[in-house]
């Protein structure tokens, strides 16, 4: 009996030692061969980082998508579509690619962000389902001020929400929009929801001033507009 107990004890020790050796072998194998080849992998999110841990890119599904960062500080949780989000060494989100499509519609956007603020260039596509698709796609550009950064915008938004005054909130945002603090669209090249294909240029107030396009009836247009949107010159 004592001999049996002794042999069982030896087997336990042997088993533990063998398990440790196996783990060490696996660890050393991965350590000595950092470049692994996978034919297929299912993953919800991948973080691309530098050696020091600085985040540079996130590839994620919708549920685990990164909320964004400003000066290495995480933004508040928000719903974002699946895709890729890019980050610079300063710790700011600097662009990305997001997409989705469901029973209500489809869309995809590739964005390039201005330093310290939001997007200034987008390659975009969107459409709804049904008879009125509202399909729009093309290249869009914005101007954004240097003195009203995304970090400042977030602070203003947080402060206004704490006041719990919907009217004041709406008025302040209308004022910021009028002053151009939220950016102004300047350029669009693509197809509009009305079926026009061409170039649409806006002034520094965001008003359309020049349209060069072919309409859905294949008629060509070159239109200059005044501040109120009235056509000054129309060449066919």
User: How many Å apart are CA 159 and CA 61, to the nearest integer?
Assistant: 31
User: Taking the C-alpha atoms of 78, 97, 107 and 70 in order, what is their torsion angle to the nearest 10 degrees?
Assistant: 30
Looking at 64, 82, 101, the residue that finishes a domain is 101
Q: Which residue has the tokens 């069982």?
A: 8
- Structure token pair of residue 56: 């540079």
User: How many Å apart are CA 236 and CA 222, to the nearest integer?
Assistant: 7
Tens of pLDDT, residues 87-134:
999 989 999 999 999 999 999 999 999 999 999 999 999 999 988 889
Question: Domain check: are 47 and 84 in the same one?
Answer: yes
Contact, 122 vs 144, CB < 8 A? no
pLDDT at 132: 84
Residues 6+ apart with CB under 8 A from 202: 184, 185, 186, 187, 208, 209
Mean pLDDT in residue range 62-69: 94
Q: Is residue 19 part of a domain?
A: yes
Q: Is residue 158 part of a domain?
A: no
Question: Domain check: are 84 and 50 in the same one?
Answer: yes
User: How many Å apart are CA 39 and CA 15, to the nearest integer?
Assistant: 33
Q: Is residue 201 part of a domain?
A: no
Q: Per mean pLDDT, which of 76-80, 161-165, 189-193, 229-233 is the most reliable?
A: 189-193
Domain count, the chain: 2
pLDDT band at residue 20 using 50, 70 and 90 as cut-offs: low
Mean pLDDT in residue range 178-192: 95
User: How many Å apart are CA 83 and CA 224, to the nearest integer?
Assistant: 39
Q: Which residue has the tokens 């009125």?
A: 132
- 11 has a pLDDT exceeding 60: no
Looking at 71, 101, 131, the residue that finishes a domain is 101
pLDDT at 4: 45
pLDDT at 72: 82
pLDDT band at residue 8 using 50, 70 and 90 as cut-offs: very low
pLDDT at 25: 55
Looking at 85, 101, 117, the residue that finishes a domain is 101
Handedness of CA 131, 223, 221, 108 (dihedral sign): negative
Q: Is residue 23 part of a domain?
A: yes
Q: Which residue has the tokens 């170039």?
A: 199
pLDDT band at residue 5 using 50, 70 and 90 as cut-offs: low
Parent domain of 59: 38-101
Question: Domain check: are 32 and 51 in the same one?
Answer: no
Give the CA radius of gyration of the chain. 28
User: Taking the C-alpha atoms of 31, 32, 38 and 42 in order, what is their torsion angle to the nearest 10 degrees?
Assistant: 0
Question: Domain check: are 53 and 97 in the same one?
Answer: yes
User: How many Å apart are CA 193 and CA 218, to the nearest integer?
Assistant: 15
Mean pLDDT in residue range 56-68: 96
pLDDT band at residue 33 using 50, 70 and 90 as cut-offs: low
Q: Is residue 75 part of a domain?
A: yes
Question: Domain check: are 83 and 29 in the same one?
Answer: no
Element housing 83 (H / E): strand 83-87
Question: Domain check: are 7 and 28 in the same one?
Answer: yes
- Structure token pair of residue 115: 């330093």
- 2 has a pLDDT exceeding 90: no
pLDDT band at residue 13 using 50, 70 and 90 as cut-offs: low
């Amino acid at each position: 009996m004592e001999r049996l107990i002794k042999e069982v004890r030896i087997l336990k020790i042997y088993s533990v030692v063998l398990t440790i050796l196996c783990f060490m072998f696996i660890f050393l194998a991965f350590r000595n061969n950092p470049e692994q080849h996978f034919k297929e992998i299912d993953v919800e999110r991948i973080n691309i980082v530098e050696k020091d841990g600085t985040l540079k890119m996130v590839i994620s599904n919708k549920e685990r998508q990164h909320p964004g960062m400003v000066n290495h500080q995480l933004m508040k949780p928000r719903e974002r579509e699946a895709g890729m989000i890019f980050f610079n060494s300063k710790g700011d989100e600097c662009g990305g690619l997001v997409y989705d499509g469901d029973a209500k519609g489809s869309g995809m956007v590739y964005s390039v962000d201005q330093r310290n603020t939001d997007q200034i260039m987008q390659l975009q596509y969107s459409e709804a389902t049904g008879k009125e698709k509202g399909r729009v796609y093309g290249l869009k550009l914005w101007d954004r001020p240097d003195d009203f950064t995304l970090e400042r915008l977030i602070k203003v938004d947080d402060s206004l929400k704490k006041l719990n005054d919907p009217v004041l909130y709406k008025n302040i945002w209308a004022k910021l929009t009028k002053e151009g603090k939220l950016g102004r669209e300047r350029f669009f090249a693509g197809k509009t929801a009305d079926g026009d294909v061409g170039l649409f240029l806006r002034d520094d107030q965001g008003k359309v001033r020049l349209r060069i396009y072919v309409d859905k009836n294949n008629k060509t247009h070159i239109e200059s507009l005044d501040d109120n949107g009235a056509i000054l010159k129309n060449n066919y």
